Structure 1
Amino acid sequence: MNRLASATSPYLLQHADNPVEWWQWGADALAEAKRRDVPILLSIGYAACHWCHVMAHESFEDAETAAVMNEHFVNIKVDREERPDIDAVYMAATQAMTGQGGWPMTCFLTPDGEPFYCGTYFPTPSFRRLLDAVAEGWQSQRKDLVEQASRVVSTIAGGAGPLQESVVDEATLAGAAEILQRDADPVNGGFGGAPKFPPSMVLEFLLRHHERTGSEDALALADRTAEAMARGGLYDQLGGGFARYSVDAEWIVPHFEKMLYDNALLLRFYAHLWRRTGSTTAWRVANGTAEFLAAELRTPEGGFASSLDADTEGVEGLTYVWTPEQLREVLGDDSAAELFGVTPEGTFEEGASTLRLFGELPETTRVKLLEARAKRPQPGRDDKVIASWNGLAITALAEAGVALDRPQWIQRAVDAAELLLRVHVIDGRLRRSSRDGAVGASAGVLEDYACVADGFLALHQATAEPRWLTEATRLLDLALTHFASPDAPGAYFDTADDAETLVQRPADPTDNASPAGASALAGALLTASALAGHASVAKYREAAEQALRRAGALAGRVPRFAGHWLSVAEALQAGPVQVAVVGSNEELLRAAARGVHGGGIVLAGAPDAPGVPLLADRPLVEGSAAAYVCRGYVCDRPVTTAEALAAQL
């Protein structure tokens, strides 16, 4: 019996018709393995994953392979996006065993859930041999396999303790910026070779470092990388939005899946870059990415879907690539081939090319090509709503909406926040995911609480509505209560103290494609300390500073994996900057929105507005609207003109 038909995950539903007798993760599945006295075959992936589709087609849809799986194993399928805790535990095991990890992830476990053999993608012949070998080994060498599993659990537990405390000061931040300069690709921007991922949080740190210190090197690296990504194939020149990564070092050919978290983080960075430099590229990309979120990922309930698939009808990139002939057919001439770098040889497969930008793109050309592309088959969409990723999108849309004066973006952020409150909050606690307005069973993890709280704080600033501050601080208080390590102040687990017990309680402090739960929490706590009023300032600020000290060594030694930590540290060094605009003056508000530093706070409203502590005790100045600028606990004199405010900032 395949038990995936009732799943809320589109990834699991993709496997609901497999001849494999899949189970969803849970106590029943583990109990079944104990009852049958067989090992567990755990397969972890996600809906937009190309090689997950390949392995499914080759092995899980094959009746003979499925028969072997069903006879010898209890087979469990997990969506890593719904259950990041399970993914983290078994990814650590996979990396410990093989030195690398990825998806699809394939792990063999004892009935107690302890892993004794792990890998990633297996082509059908080797997968069949592996199934036979593991089944035989379970019968003839079970003691060895169980001992191996115990050693693996001990190994990953030994590497999971909290980091030692280490100060994050001016020298740490300057040293991190120097390491990033040394590690950067001087030609193409970004870091490392192929594959190359968009370093959104590192770019945000570099921008903040420039704003606070005046470092032109930091700004140059951020701007060079932003320009290269925006003009390469990584960015969708027609429809907006970024693919997950580039398979080459020059940003030419992407892996075509588009993830919500990438686009939220990059929207925020490009909006901040435009705010600081006035870059026309940053303006174009911020607008294009925000509209991509609305056009392609927004759900009928007002939230944002998780991703678009890498494949279209089983072919990667089918929707997006072009030949010179196809461009000519739409536009009537060869004008676009040189503009987009489309050649007869092609940059992708079978003579087709991704679209890069080697000039200015006429809007009429973009619209014609986009309309033609819309008639092609389109990639599938994973339409489940992930709480933390929607939190990132809410923050990005709210901040970008204020910076670029796009009230419709702020409204979309409000709609997504309303969905989270309406659907994801159950008995006061946060659930991880929903689909079609129905909440899933998975409990929220630390990143969910932190990113959603941060999004609500951004909305409080953008709208001056008290309820967003109230809901944000409620989530932060829950996070401090349920996720903090009882033995190491400032350290946090990724799962709550009352969550399901796994073979290890995950606690990963590194920033990867999205912020670590702990770094996202530190950022939200710091923002809350400036917004929540005098009674909570000390609690939230101290908690943020404690968390940051736990990441000091990480930030100083491997800054590429601590981008969000470093961004939080920069905001802390800057104060953070707070701008309260009281009274009605659009020029003052615009100057605040354009001039504030990354990580800074801007909030406008009536003096002493109820439930808005940042506006308390800040009156009009001689009957005129005024702006109050503070850094930490030190404030400048209020000003009444946009010019004076810009000078202060």
Structure 2
Amino acid sequence: MYIPKGFKLPSSAILATTLSLCLASCNEAKVESPSTENEQNASEFSSVPHEIKNHRDAGEQTGHNHVRKVIPSSEALKKLPADGGSDFNRLVFEQSPYLLQHAGNPINWYPWGEEAFAKARKENKPVFLSVGYTTCHWCHVMEHESFEDDEVAALMNKHYVCVKVDREERPDIDNVYMSVTQMMTGRGGWPMTVIMTPEKVPFFSGTYFPKQSMMQLLPHFSGIWANEREQVFKLGEAITTDLAKLSGGQPGGDLNATHLDACYRSLASSYDGVNGGFGRRPKFPTAHNLSFLLRYYDRTGEVKALRMVEKSLEKIRQGGVYDHVGLGIHRYSTDERWFLPHFEKMLYDQALFAIANLECHQITKKEAYAKAAREIFTYVLRDMTDPEGGFYSAEDADSEGEEGKFYVWTTAELEKTLGKEDATLYARIYNFEPDGNFFEEAANRKTGGNIPHLKQRLKDIAHELKQEIDPLKSKLEGIREKLFVARKKRIHPQKDDKILTDWNGLMISAFAKGGRILNDKHYLEAATKAADYCLTTLRRKDGRLLKRSRLGVAGLPAHLEDYAFLIQGLLDLHESAFQHRHLKAAAELTDITLKHFADAENGGLFLTADDGEKLLVRAKEIYDGAIPSGNSVMALNLLRIARITGSKRYEETANKLFAAFSGFAAKSPSGCDVLMTALDFSVGPSLEIVVAGKRGEDATEQLLGAIHSSFLPNKVLLFRPTDDEKPEIANLAPFVQNQGMVNGKSAVYVCRNQACELPVTTVVQLEKTLAKALGKEK
């Protein structure tokens, strides 16, 4: 438990009970302490299996013979009282699929808002805050065990005002109280459980609690609130003071190339040389680690950095953490081998994993990485794309009351679907066992289900089977399609169909890069449609962004990540499609970000806008976990905008951002490896490349193709159409105005700080000029 320096806990009883409850929670869920050098600052784990609910569309039966109440139509909702009536609580009026999951609980849940806190003040009750997300396995477990239980609900309703928060809609709330949870317990995770005063000051925090612990916790802390109020206030004040100290950035001198070396050494020290990836179990893809290593290899020629990337991508792609039937990557592996996944699928993982594969393909030219990226795109376009163009957030791990049921196969199911011969071949290659390979730890037994996974490269398997590799690949693809068709008939896990601006920005980047690197117009079309969706549906008339959209209803103020990730996506899309509206929007959103999020005095960017809701602290985040931090991504955005426009103020702001977090970067460089990616650009050399010509002409497309196929991470790429005397691009990048074709031929201008080499008109000349500009002449 976190004890503020110099502060004495209110009583030994509070300490003893709190510690016992925290230990009960951690032991039950087998939560492991997060690594500051490896995984995100909090995560929820699935090593203890439970029968849990299937949160599908309203009305479906779960594994506990419970039927979820049907959410009323929009017209019927208008007739309900403000508290939801006898069948629902106030969450029934929300848009979040996670909140709607709890709308039929017997608990009087409130969404986060003044109504709940005013009630707590009026009735002199503490607030019970529960934070989670739609596809969170342990959130489902705690809901069934406690939040659907009448006995627990009676205690909660009697002693507390109960508030539910979707962390994906309100990352600001999650950030603040997850920091508290980590301070108080030394670990974090979801569901997050916080008990706090009506003024939002916490005095107890934890993660998952089974019913037995809840039955102790609820009356205990109600009693503490009633009988030891002064001590509660003192504890809350001490927590708030320490929290403020952690939320302001950590300056510590200038950042330079030595910090890139330190980041590499840190990742190398935690690298799993046997299985790929980093750290111990549970293992997360954190593909941005790999993107940094590719840049480090490009900078230094350190072959080990490239080998770490290649092995990690290969092992992840082979493991059960990859969906070998429906494609796409699951959230994480509960073991070191990437075999046993936590089965939910998150949009951001698809985006980051695709980007790492695309970049590795650029460097190595190996088709396997291009294929892996294409498979991710196939999954996202098929299952995660809204007809209007936006991308959905996630798919659940659970169906029919069981985690992973949708994804595993018995040998009998395999033979029924494929016939004996093909089933025998598939079971051999994908390591099926007659009694299943999916092992339940708690029950200490195999379930009978099999998770498809590879233990060898396919070419080695083909050699053992004495078969040619290409016919075997074709055979397996036909089998995969049969299994996919059969699997579609199963009850599908719930899809979280909200469209989040930040995660869409990441996916736009992935599709934009995929379009240009793989020369596939369909990927560019997907990126363009999603970008235009965000710039219309998720943008207000005053130019500012909204957080999410669902079923055509957009709302909630955007946070730093929404701006940072969408700006990045727009910049990447502009380098692929060269539509000026995307670059113009990126520049406009950058200025809005600096106006409303920048810390002008100390550098860096706050998570929330200057006119946003005031929480305990106004946090600044730099840790790059499962998702990069907004500050890290925005640092590179600012450098790219600076190179495009020639405006020094963007680069100066980026340098202040580096300084604001230099202390953290020095202590934990791989904990902010996306910031290190921005630093790599800043250290340079970085280039501005301008292609002047006419789109569609062979010479122009050949030059663009040569640039797109090369790994040139530290560059901005602009296109100057020569059939326009005053092209729109010159409004933002004036230096391109006088750059044109040479003797009627399309030309490329390679520049550093807008000082350009002589233009070149052939691919061979371009390659030589780039090598010279980057100091890589042979």
Q: TM-score range by the shorter chain?
A: over 0.9
Asked if 1 retains the 8 angstrom alpha-carbon contact of 2:359 and 2:711, the reply is no
* Contact 2:276/2:312 (8 A) holds in 1: yes
Name the residue aligned to 2:431: 341
Distance 1:190 1:556, change over 3 A: farther
Code of the aligned partner of 1:457: L
Do the aligned partners of 1:201 and 1:567 also contact (CA within 8 Å) in 2? no
Tell whether the 8 Å contact from 2:251 to 2:664 is kept in structure 1 after alignment.
no
Is the 2:120–2:198 contact (alpha carbons within 8 Å) kept by the matching residues of 1? yes
Return the offset for 1:345: 4.5
Q: Which residue of 1 aligns with 2:13?
A: none
Which structure 2 residues correspond to residues 571-582 of structure 1 after superposition, within 5 A? 571-582=681-692
Q: Deviations over 1:330-365 (max 9, x none)?
A: 222201112112222533231322222334443212
Q: Which residue does the alignment assign to 2:759? A: 638
Question: In the alignment, is residue 68 of structure 1 matched against residue 155 of structure 2?
Answer: yes
The 1:631/1:596 distance shift into structure 2, 3 A limit, reads farther
The AA in structure 1 aligned to 2:343 is F
1:621-642 Cα distance to aligned partner (Å, 9 max, x none): 1111122223444433322122
1:443 aligns with 2:557: yes
Deviates more, 1:206-215 or 1:90-99: 206-215
Structure 2 distance, partners of 1:116, 1:396, is 42
Contact 1:272 1:400 in 2 (8 A): no
Q: Separation in 2 of the partners of 1:35 and 1:419?
A: 43
Partners in 2 of 1:592 and 1:222 — Cα distance? 23
2: CA distance, partners of 1:162 / 1:384: 31
Q: 1:425 aligns with which of 539, 561, 569?
A: 539
1:595 corresponds to 2:710: yes
Q: Are 1:352 and 2:442 matched, yes or no?
A: no
Work out the CA distance in 1 between the residues paired with 2:229 and 2:149. Answer: 28
**Unpaired stretches in structure 1, ≥5 consecutive residues:** none
Correspondence for 2:41: none
- The Cα of 1:99 is off from its aligned counterpart by 0.6
Hey, what's the Cα distance between the residues in 2 that align with 1:173 and 1:27?
46
Distance 2:257 2:563 in 1: 29
Separation (CA, whole Å) in 2 of partners of 1:126 and 1:248: 28
Secondary structure, in 3 states, of the residue corresponding to 1:88? helix
How far residue 324 of structure 1 moved from its aligned partner, in angstroms, is 3.0
What amino acid maps onto 1:331 in structure 2?
Answer: L
8 Å CA contact 1:176–1:557 kept in 2: the answer is: no
> Residue in 2 aligned with 1:363?
477
Aligned partner of 2:745 among 611, 624, 642:
624
How many angstroms does 1:605 deviate by?
Answer: 4.8
Q: Aligned letter for 1:529?
A: A
Structure-2 residue corresponding to 1:527: 640
Aligned to 2:34: none
| Partner-residue secondary structure (3-state), 2:688 | strand
Aligned to 1:555: 665
CA contact (8 A) 2:264 2:670 kept: no
Q: After superposition, what is the alpha-carbon deviation per residue over 1:391-438, rounded to whole angstroms, capped at 9, x for unaligned? A: 111111111111111111111111111111212112322111110121
Could you tell me which residue of structure 2 aligns to residue 509 of structure 1? 622
Of the structure 1 ranges 561-570 and 76-85, higher mean CA displacement relative to structure 2 is found in 561-570
- Deviation track 1:208-229 (CA, whole Å, cap 9, x = no partner) reads 1112222212111111111111
Q: Give the number of equivalent residue pairs.
A: 644
1:379 to 1:34, Cα distance in 2 relative to 1, 3 A:
same
Q: 2:205 aligns with which of 115, 118, 138?
A: 118
Q: Deviation per CA, 1:484-511, whole angstroms, max 9, x where unpaired?
A: 11320x3221111111111111212111
Displacement of 1:452 in angstroms is 0.9
Indicate the residue corresponding to 2:263 in structure 1.
176
| CA shift in 2, pair 1:458/1:569, >3 Å | same
| Distance in 1 of aligned mates of 2:657 and 2:497 | 33
Q: CA deviation at 1:64?
A: 2.0
Indicate which of 581, 602, 611 corresponds to 2:728: 611
Distance 1:648 1:366 in 2: 46
Task: Report the equivalent of 2:442.
Answer: none
The answer to whether the aligner puts 1:542 opposite 2:652 as a matched pair is yes
Computing the radius of gyration over CA atoms, which structure comes out larger, 1 or 2? 2
User: Counterpart of 2:557 in 1: which secondary structure?
Assistant: coil
Code of the aligned partner of 1:169 = N
Cα distance in 1, alignment partners of residues 759 and 451 from structure 2: 52
CA distance in 1, matches of 2:766, 2:491: 51
In the TM superposition, residue 238 of structure 1 has moved relative to its aligned partner by 2.2
C-alpha separation in 1, matches of 2:379 and 2:755: 40
| Residues 73-124 of structure 1, C-alpha deviations (whole Å, 9 max, x = no match) | 1100000000000001110111111111100001001010000001110101
Rate the CA distance shift 1:247–1:632 in 2: closer, same or farther, 3 A: farther
Q: TM-score, normalised by structure 2?
A: 0.80
Question: Within the alignment, does 1:188 sit opposite 2:275 as a pair?
Answer: yes
* Correspondent of 2:569 among 455, 464, 469: 455
**1:457-496 aligned within 5 A:** 457-488=571-602, 490-496=603-609
2 CA distance for matches of 1:344 and 1:466? 58
- State the distance in 1 between where 2:752 and 2:213 align: 61
Per-residue CA deviation, residues 431-480 of structure 1 (Å, 9 max, x unaligned), is 1111012112x211111111111111122222211111111111111111
SS at match of 2:537: helix
Instruction: Answer yes or no: is the 8 Å Cα contact 2:259–2:669 preserved in 1.
Output: no
Whether the aligned pair in 2 keeps the contact of 1:202 and 1:562 (CA below 8 Å) is: no
Return the alpha-carbon distance in structure 2 between the equivalents of residues 88 and 175 of structure 1.
Answer: 27
**Contact 2:625–2:671 (Cα < 8 Å) also in 1:** yes
- Looking at structure 2, the residues matched to 32 and 60 of structure 1 have their Cα atoms a distance apart, in angstroms, of 21
Shift of 1:599: 4.3
**Counterpart AA for 2:436:** G
Q: What is the CA–CA distance in structure 2 between the aligned matches of 1:182 and 1:64, rounded to whole Å?
A: 49
1:303-318 matches, cutoff 5 A: 303-318=390-405
Question: 1-side partners of 2:212 and 2:675: how far apart?
Answer: 44
The residue type paired with residue 190 of structure 1 is G
Question: Are the counterparts in 1 of residues 685 and 714 from structure 2 also a CA contact under 8 Å?
Answer: no
The residue aligned with 1:586 is 701
Q: 1: distance between equivalents of 2:400 and 2:716?
A: 45
- Cα pair 2:688 2:754 within 8 Å, conserved: no
Q: 1:355-434 counterparts in 2 under 5 A?
A: 355-357=452-454, 358-360=456-458, 361=473, 362-426=476-540, 427-434=542-549
Letter in 2 for 1:606: P
- Which residue number corresponds to residue 75 of structure 2? none
Shift, 1:609, TM fit: 6.0
Aligned AA for 2:522? Q
SS at match of 2:592: helix
Q: Residues 212 and 574 of structure 1 are in contact (CA less than 8 Å); yes or no, is this contact kept in structure 2?
A: no
**Structure 2 unmatched runs, 5+:** 1-82, 84-88, 440-446, 459-472, 771-778
Provide the alpha-carbon RMSD of the alignment.
1.7
Q: Where does residue 237 of structure 2 map in the other structure? A: 150
Aligned to 1:321: 408
